[in-house]
Structure 1
Amino acid sequence: MRSEFFKVATSTLAGITLLLSVNFAGAESAHGIAMYGDPALPPDYASLPYANPDAPKGGKVVFGNTGGFDTLNPFVQKGTAPWQLRFWGYESLMGRSYDEPFSLYGLLAESIETPDDRSWVEFTLRPEAKFSDGSPVTVEDVIWSYETLGTSGHLRYRGFWSKVESITQTGPLKVRIDFNTEDRELALLAGMRPILKKAQWEGKSFADSGPNEAPLGTGAYVVDASEPGRYVSLHRNPNYWGKDIAFRRGTQNFDEMRIEFFGDATVLFEAFKVGELTAVREYNAGKWDNNYNFPSVQRGDVIKSEIPHQRPSGITGLAMNTRNPLFADWRVREAMINAFNFEYINGTVTGGKQPRITSYYSNSSLGMKSGPAEGRVRTLLEPFADQLFPGALEGYELPLSDGTERNRKNLRTATKLLSEAGWTIQDGVLQNSKGEPFEFSFLLRQGDSEMQTVVEIYARALERLGIKAVTETVDNAQYVSRQNEYDFDMTHYRRDLSLSPGNEQYLYWGRDGVTQTGSRNLMGVDSPAVESLIPAMLNATSAENFISAVRALDRVLTSGRYVIPIWQFDKSRIAHAKELHFPETLPIYGDRPQFMPTVWWYEAN
């Protein structure tokens, strides 16, 4: 195992083009499926390429979360569950390989069949698939899971269900799903819904499950003890049905995994330093260099590992709620971006060592190109020319500061933009024509000390514009609830994006999310261009058309000025006990929930 720094994995995003260029297969039963072309692994593959099939089983690991939880059901809209649960204890019909842009292989299902147009998909269940209580997985469980998640589950599952025409049993172990929408991704999404046990919820409300009952799953890990706000403990099921199938070989190696909860990140880090936690992820490059020199690191008992990746930057920063009239005008949002002195803040918080996000899909071949839109990208955007914000067609770049605290040039630009939008200084206070002051609040999660530092610096700059900005720090439950209800002015926002964007884009910035509570469209994006570009992306049948649609979408979102971007996470930084190991072969997606802890193992040196 290499434990310090790694060469970038040999796979590159150029592989997307190769995958996109392959013709679709016909409606034949197969061991796997790819969004474009064929999956990379053959039917007789031995294990996932980034797993160690000889990894030993055993050991206990303890991770830390900030905040708390009030439910053990990660599949419902109500309440807050530990985010890890839906990855550790549950499975779907197909499993994803994170060394390919978007390929699935049989998990609970042994095979998949779909026609060229992907208007339907049929799965054949493995006869040996079982829930953690030993009962078999049935087609009835599958149908119930799809219907229940699609109607009373979390919003992330409901968009798919609205595109299902019918779901029927076609054999003792076969289930077929027909779609009512032309969308080539649906056949893959159908394979990724978690399968739960119907009988567990007879006579009970699935949507209102509380902190004392976790849904039964088929995964290797089962919750064995928990206390709301303090900890959750899971053990590996010794009778786990799938331990010998190729997709699982070399994975899920720990005997016990435990999550401890802390009030804030500082307390969590101190717990790690004294050995109460087994591993932590560090997202701040400056802290990684300066704060990880404590005695256990010096002795070699704690190892610092860096995991590169090839996925897009995604978007991280401060989201402005455009449902609030204060941020409805793009000129005001552009002023807010100019007032945000990224170079100075980045130097203060991370030591200036993390590059800035320049667009939603930056750092990948899917990201928009600088300068004016050209070719098919322009063709896709021009029908909406009179509705797009400045920069979508002409080109848009984030403002740069001189790195000093004063940021005079950009603040002058912000003042001019605010004046154009009807805001002027009166007696040191920025006001509109009605005499109403420009005031708003930042909604932050308790314990998010890093973002608190960011907004404190930012608020001082806004004061110089005559703007009063205060910070509301709330506990985890209030934070989630208020974001779900869009009850905020500006809030910390993070959205990971993949190498194969698809239907989840509707949840992130689709028009329905403007009013539908609980979506991920926190900004309130309401764009006809977005509504057109997502299906263009989903139904693309060539590399050129797919990439062009994503790049066009990237332009619309970035020039919309919905989020003040901060730094990107260009690599993962994990500090861990020396007994933890991982394979040398790294997936192109790098460190995701299916990498740490899924393919790690415990072994004393």
Structure 2
Amino acid sequence: MTHALRTLFIGFSSIALLSVASLALANPKHAQTLYDEPAKYPANFKHFDYVNPDAPKGGTLRQAGFGGFDSLNPFINKGVAADDISIIYDTLTRHGLDEPFTEYGLLAEKIEKAPDNAWVRFYLRPEARFHDGQPVTAEDVKFTFDTLMSQGAPMYRGYYADVEKVVVESPLRVRFVFKHAGNRELPLIVGQLPVLPKHWWAERDFSKGNLDIPLGSGPYKVAEVQAGRSIRYERVKDWWGKDLPVNRGFYNFDTLQIDYYRDNTVALEALKAGQFDYWLEMSAKNWATAYNNEAVANGQLIKEEIANHNPTGMQGFIFNTRRPLFSDRRVREALGLLFDYEWTNRQLFNGAYTRTRSYFDNSELASVGLPSADELKLLEPLRAQIAPKVFSDEYQPAVTDGSGIIREQQRRAYQLLQEAGWRVDGDQMLDSTGKPVSFEFLLAQTEFERVLLPFKRNLADLGIELVIRRVDVSQYINRLRSRDYDLIVGGFGQSNSPGNEQREYWHSSSADNPGSRNFIGLKDTAVDSLVEGLINADSRQSLIAHTRALDRVLLWGHYVVPNWHIKTWRVAYWNRFEHPQVTPQYDIGLHTWWVRTQSPEAAADASAAQPSADPEQ
């Protein structure tokens, strides 16, 4: 969940000395936690609380994909990878879905790290096998890491930037040595590395995306591919890891089928017609109005809201600050004022959403009120580089009366634009260089156009032209990678333990990296400083202070127009499926679901057929 830049440099010889000195203190464990607190589940645990360990195996789960795909290699920055392709691979560790950040051994039976987090060692399970029967070894781990860093998507070079090298100590023992000590998160995120088979890739070109069926070691393998249209995965019956405590109750479907649709409206109709089984609904309007059919009324198609305890992160209209038009904070703030959230929520979303006001909303990490004393210690040295309102005002998005008339916001926006050197000439807004203002909003999904049209009208009232450009998924991804856009709608997902991924979002080092999620194009030394401090936080209290300080600087930078969030997952699924009564706090837990052994209708029919007891006997 993070990548790194360390403040204390330790040369190779120092690392070697520290390694030797700390070996007596290091203790191989079945799990690792961020601050070395005890893991929720002990070494002898049988299964996670959020699974049914006796869930029946069998059946098919059919899902819908969007757009298409042209690659089965999700690790490179070429092509569009098929949905869920990562399920064919095992990782060194498995993330606990009901803990903020704990990693349990999967391919690795035990995990050992230096007390100062200068290295981490994994002891591989001798029974671990790829699907062709070849053992998973430390050489495979080293090969995977080196390949991802040299040929994989650029995000890996940022995410694992603080790994100095990978050392194969024995066939089943591998050690990751870090460039700097002190990064508490790095030993955990290294464990999330999927392990690829070195022998299979020996005669293949890793850098090219294609539809060759890859070899993995995970619970499923690719069974059938129809290019761009569908993919089918089959459960590996003799999967080496099926009896591990971390896997009990998971992966219960014999088959996973994903059929692709070009339009989500068509996909929803296909769900209601029984063409596939499970749908995560993202549209409040659809959730409120599109399920009024017989299947829902009679309980065949179930609508359920599952509590989501994750930070909601930030979804918004993202300005590409690489464009000179959006380089001025006042311009970004002005344009944000012209989005009428209250009208949108009332008229388009049936009042279902809450306005997002933090990059870490729905968590203790979100900034509130004015900066605390701990935050001020971090912010004061940066005062000259950040917006003055960081210190004087609590950030709140503009609020309208929901009538659709936003004259007050338009007046304030025009004032800010004038301060930035913009002016109106006739019925056109001219920027500071005297050019008419026109910019493009890049979209891949039709459904979002109805949200943008009122925004477009509000901009037009001030003589600003917004062009809504909808393209297919492949073109959208290519333009995203090449940073060829003015505005997009996007999100920055967050966890309860933010860390190295913040570098991918905000740090200067990722701004020119086509594989990063620095969609904004941020290059700001104050932000860099806060990101580095967050990654190196040595306590939960320090992490919270750094995260809240970073949140304030990002909010007052007006890099996005905040959208909205909801604190549940809205899912619709056919009643032949069941899931555990206890759901994981931080995930939907779809891979813990199973097919009913008996449908509710059959159970009811069987009960009715039973002779009733005679009260006289």
TM tier relative to shorter chain: over 0.9
Q: Which runs of 4+ in 1 moved over 3 A?
A: none
Secondary structure in structure 1 of the residue aligned to 2:453? helix
Task: Note closer, same or farther for the CA distance 1:375–1:580 as it changes in structure 2 (3 Å cut).
Answer: same
Distance 2:108 2:127 in 1: 10
Q: What is the match of residue 489 of structure 1?
A: 486
- Pick aligned residue for 2:595 from 579, 584, 602: 602
How much has 1:202 moved relative to structure 2? 1.6
Task: Check the 8 A contact 1:156/1:504 in 2, yes or no.
Answer: no
Q: What is the match of residue 257 of structure 1?
A: 256
Q: What is the match of residue 320 of structure 2?
A: 321
In structure 2, what residue type is equivalent to 1:456? Answer: L
Distance 1:536 1:583 in 2: 39
Q: What is the match of residue 19 of structure 2?
A: none
Aligned positions of 1:424-439 closer than 5 A: 424-439=423-438
Task: Check the 8 A contact 1:308/1:590 in 2, yes or no.
Answer: no
Task: Check the 8 A contact 1:396/1:559 in 2, yes or no.
Answer: yes
Distance 1:464 1:266 in 2: 31
Secondary structure in structure 2 of the residue aligned to 1:385? helix
TM-score by length of 1: 0.93
Aligned-CA RMSD value: 1.4
Q: What is the match of residue 19 of structure 1?
A: none
- Deviations 1:364-415, CA, capped at 9 Å, x for gaps: 1110012x21211111111111111243222321111111112111111111
- Deviations 1:206-263, CA, capped at 9 Å, x for gaps: 01131x2143211111111112221011110111110000000000000000111111
Distance 1:484 1:116 in 2: 39
Secondary structure in structure 2 of the residue aligned to 1:419? helix
- Pick aligned residue for 1:512 from 509, 522, 528: 509
How much has 1:284 moved relative to structure 2? 2.4
How much has 1:285 moved relative to structure 2? 2.8
How much has 1:29 moved relative to structure 2? 0.6
- Deviations 1:55-95, CA, capped at 9 Å, x for gaps: 11011011001111110111111111124222x22111111
Q: What is the match of residue 158 of structure 2?
A: 159
Secondary structure in structure 1 of the residue aligned to 2:205? coil
Task: Note closer, same or farther for the CA distance 1:551–1:173 as it changes in structure 2 (3 Å cut).
Answer: same
In structure 2, what residue type is equivalent to 1:128? Answer: E
Distance 2:281 2:118 in 1: 43
In structure 1, what residue type is equivalent to 2:64? Answer: G
Distance 1:194 1:408 in 2: 53
Distance 1:141 1:191 in 2: 14
Distance 2:368 2:470 in 1: 37
Pair 1:283-2:276 in alignment: no
Task: Note closer, same or farther for the CA distance 1:214–1:494 as it changes in structure 2 (3 Å cut).
Answer: farther
Identity of paired residues, percent? 39
Q: What is the match of residue 477 of structure 2?
A: 480
Q: What is the match of residue 125 of structure 2?
A: 126
Distance 2:236 2:83 in 1: 20
Aligned positions of 1:101-120 closer than 5 A: 101-120=100-119
- Deviations 1:115-138, CA, capped at 9 Å, x for gaps: 211101110000011112221101
Q: What is the match of residue 65 of structure 1?
A: 65
Distance 2:471 2:85 in 1: 23
Secondary structure in structure 1 of the residue aligned to 2:355? coil
In structure 1, what residue type is equivalent to 2:133? Answer: G
In structure 2, what residue type is equivalent to 1:415? Answer: Y
How much has 1:416 moved relative to structure 2? 0.7
Secondary structure in structure 1 of the residue aligned to 2:203? coil
In structure 2, what residue type is equivalent to 1:248? Answer: N
Task: Note closer, same or farther for the CA distance 1:433–1:250 as it changes in structure 2 (3 Å cut).
Answer: closer
Task: Note closer, same or farther for the CA distance 1:433–1:392 as it changes in structure 2 (3 Å cut).
Answer: closer
In structure 1, what residue type is equivalent to 2:153? Answer: H
Secondary structure in structure 2 of the residue aligned to 1:259? strand
In structure 2, what residue type is equivalent to 1:551? Answer: R
Q: What is the match of residue 538 of structure 1?
A: 535
Distance 2:235 2:130 in 1: 13
Q: What is the match of residue 375 of structure 1?
A: 373
Q: What is the match of residue 583 of structure 2?
A: 586
Distance 1:452 1:433 in 2: 29
Distance 2:510 2:159 in 1: 15
Q: What is the match of residue 562 of structure 2?
A: 565
Q: What is the match of residue 603 of structure 2?
A: none
In structure 1, what residue type is equivalent to 2:285? Answer: G
Secondary structure in structure 1 of the residue aligned to 2:221? strand
- Pick aligned residue for 1:384 from 382, 385, 391: 382
Task: Check the 8 A contact 1:283/1:569 in 2, yes or no.
Answer: no
Task: Check the 8 A contact 1:443/1:490 in 2, yes or no.
Answer: yes
Task: Check the 8 A contact 1:315/1:359 in 2, yes or no.
Answer: yes
In structure 2, what residue type is equivalent to 1:163? Answer: D
Secondary structure in structure 1 of the residue aligned to 2:558? coil
How much has 1:515 moved relative to structure 2? 1.5
TM-score by length of 2: 0.91
Task: Check the 8 A contact 1:121/1:177 in 2, yes or no.
Answer: yes
Q: What is the match of residue 206 of structure 1?
A: 206
Secondary structure in structure 1 of the residue aligned to 2:390? coil
Deviates more, 1:567-576 or 1:103-112: 567-576
Q: What is the match of residue 89 of structure 1?
A: 88
Distance 1:114 1:373 in 2: 35
Deviates more, 1:260-269 or 1:147-156: 147-156
Distance 1:500 1:432 in 2: 41
How much has 1:156 moved relative to structure 2? 3.0
Task: Check the 8 A contact 2:65/2:83 in 1, yes or no.
Answer: no
Gaps of 5+ in 1: 1-24
Distance 1:208 1:271 in 2: 34
Secondary structure in structure 1 of the residue aligned to 2:104? strand
Deviates more, 1:574-583 or 1:287-296: 287-296
- Deviations 1:185-212, CA, capped at 9 Å, x for gaps: 11111111110111112232101131x2
How much has 1:435 moved relative to structure 2? 2.4
Distance 2:521 2:132 in 1: 43
Q: What is the match of residue 360 of structure 2?
A: 361
Q: What is the match of residue 9 of structure 1?
A: none
Distance 2:418 2:459 in 1: 15
Q: What is the match of residue 55 of structure 2?
A: 55
Secondary structure in structure 1 of the residue aligned to 2:316? strand
Q: What is the match of residue 527 of structure 1?
A: 524
Pair 1:469-2:471 in alignment: no
In structure 2, what residue type is equivalent to 1:192? Answer: Q
Distance 1:214 1:418 in 2: 54
Secondary structure in structure 1 of the residue aligned to 2:302? strand
In structure 1, what residue type is equivalent to 2:355? Answer: R
How much has 1:26 moved relative to structure 2? 4.5
Q: What is the match of residue 615 of structure 2?
A: none
Task: Check the 8 A contact 2:159/2:504 in 1, yes or no.
Answer: no
Pair 1:503-2:500 in alignment: yes
Q: What is the match of residue 216 of structure 2?
A: 217
* Count of paired positions: 572
- Deviations 1:155-180, CA, capped at 9 Å, x for gaps: 33222443222211112310011100
Q: What is the match of residue 11 of structure 1?
A: none
How much has 1:455 moved relative to structure 2? 1.1
Task: Check the 8 A contact 2:158/2:510 in 1, yes or no.
Answer: no
Task: Note closer, same or farther for the CA distance 1:128–1:433 as it changes in structure 2 (3 Å cut).
Answer: closer
